[in-house]
Structure 1
């Protein structure tokens, strides 16, 4: 399984390495929402969350689907502005100004992509103008809970009002904590981007990809970038609507996630982490054996990728992977017996999620693989 980016015909000067304040803010918000994904940042997340004013904490909770189960593509507005340079802003305000330039249909479509939906690569009409897309977006929101459903309904009813609300939320985050974060990390991120740019210029794309991540590779023809992930997808760096371009965005908060924006009408973006923390080893050989046996099936590995990001119903997993609900239930039972997942009920929905503290004890390679 892999995400494939077609780079045939892409001019070398359209490959950009650059940090993004908005992307880094969204990644930091993800750490606050899902500290279990980032065992090396528990100290920062605990201290930052404790210092938030209650009003800001409540508003972040209201909108956390934008950075919780999936990373919304609104983190990279520069990639959707037709024939732009493919370069993020120098400041958060500049990134937010670019976000304001997206049309409502594109913005809402990206904001409501809240699950690992198979239609991501295919594109399609916005929920603002298509009844079927609207129904699907609301159904996904229902499964996430009443708070998310309410937000999705507000966004569909009043896109300009909610967009202004989201911008103000990001600006308040900058004032509360992110200005200090960006001041601390921007020099390191800029230095990494300059280094990768120099590697690209002197040694070529293959060597530059190797420096970004071992999960990235150039195929034998030199016309496709292969991103090794527990998901499948295709994107092009020469989309006729967006214009040519490919952007690599480094992150100090990102590990273990390697995120790839590859939707139609967007120039592809690869968000890559700078470093990985040390993680504890498995609790015991016997326990490790039982859990590894439970994960031996490739479908269960793929299901783990979904459940590592958010809680999912059996029906959602069946739809995402093209198998029946009883098949999903059998896989869930095996993993639950091994203690790898947790289950809870929300109304008429039964939601499953990966037990990240347990998975972390399997080792950083597995954790990084399912969260990449």
Structure 2
């Protein structure tokens, strides 16, 4: 349940931390389309939506699969340029120029990436070059609905026209709401980028990545970065000539995005500015906890353990089971971190950690949205 990035041969000077106005626009569009993913932005979303031009709001629906379901790689075009070390532009106009430098195949493949293509990061034939992939792409688009099918057909028939449409749409979004938001956020993002860059230079990559997110770890011996995140497959290697880009986002919290498309520079797009209430468990621990609670006997035990502390013998008598059977169920709950124990004289008392169980709902949501 993790995404891996191979950093074999990666030189320290090829690691950069840079904010991106185009990436922040992508996250703004996502927040406007899926406000439930961003409870901390409800005020901003409400304000933008209230003053949004109806025509622009309609246009936001034409290709919302580029930002509603996930975060399209089109919002980080610098990663797709041949040198695999290009940095984001300082302005939206500069980044739109980088978007224009992607080849038609890159543009189409990225635009259809998650919803209409069979794979991601494989580097195989694309819908523009292979008739069979094209047929499969349109079949998948049709399954998503007539709107996505129409967009996909237009994209495959005339990529330059869709490029022009997207460029104008993004410029209109900038004028409508991003420019004002970016004027406030860019200083915070730039400060975070400077902080992470200082950590890279003076403390090393492991400490810098740990500061980016507790979900990111570095195995220096294996030359591999692991991101505790639900993903389809492993990230691609950077190679000696490649780079690694870290892009901070404010509007994107709590999403931790990983770009690992074949032939592109890997990117970690990480949230800043919204501190977590508590460090969430990794996905393996989360799955362990949910599995522990799914057993009907353990659920009945939790009903009692949530109200008071019980000994093993008391639980066995209450549930009509043997003490060893109860002990085995308690062991599962303890391993998942759901039950605490304390000694009272010669008795060992077990009790449910209600605070941990109460967090499971939000932790599950954060885990799958990460």
TM-score by shorter chain over 0.5 = yes
1:117-174 CA distances to partner (integer Å, 9 max, x unpaired)?
6621312112111112212222222222111111111111110011100000000001
How many angstroms does 1:220 deviate by?
5.1
- Name the counterpart of 2:249: 251
- Name the counterpart of 2:193: 193
Aligned partners of 1:79 and 1:267 also within 8 Å: yes
Aligned partners of 1:256 and 1:367 also within 8 Å: no
CA distance 1:208–1:116, shift in 2 (3 Å): farther
Mapping of residues 133-148 of structure 1, within 5 Å: 133-148=133-148
The secondary structure found in structure 1 opposite 2:368 is helix
CA distance 1:278–1:81, shift in 2 (3 Å): closer
The secondary structure found in structure 2 opposite 1:272 is strand
Give the aligned length.
298
CA distance in 2, matches of 1:239, 1:293: 39
How many angstroms does 1:362 deviate by?
4.5
CA distance in 2, matches of 1:45, 1:262: 30
Match of 2:274 among 268, 273, 276: 276
**4+ residue stretches of structure 1 with deviation over 3 A?**
275-279, 291-297, 360-364
CA distance 1:182–1:89, shift in 2 (3 Å): same
CA distance in 1, matches of 2:251, 2:293: 28
**Correspondence 1:267 to 2:255:** no
Question: Tell me, which stretches of 5 or more residues in structure 1 are unaligned?
Answer: 280-290, 298-359
Alignment TM-score, normalising by the size of structure 2:
0.76
CA distance in 2, matches of 1:135, 1:270: 32
**Correspondence 1:365 to 2:363:** yes
- Name the counterpart of 1:24: 24
- Name the counterpart of 2:327: none
CA distance in 2, matches of 1:58, 1:239: 43
- Name the counterpart of 2:13: 13
Higher mean C-alpha displacement, 183-192 vs 127-136: 127-136
Q: Looking at CA atoms only, which structure, 1 or 2, has the larger radius of gyration?
A: 2
CA distance in 2, matches of 1:259, 1:116: 19
How many angstroms does 1:84 deviate by?
5.0
Aligned partners of 2:236 and 2:260 also within 8 Å: yes
CA distance in 1, matches of 2:61, 2:116: 21
CA distance in 2, matches of 1:173, 1:111: 18
CA distance in 2, matches of 1:128, 1:31: 31
CA distance in 1, matches of 2:293, 2:47: 35
How many angstroms does 1:114 deviate by?
3.1
Alignment TM-score, normalising by the size of structure 1:
0.75
- Name the counterpart of 1:110: 110
CA distance in 2, matches of 1:172, 1:296: 49
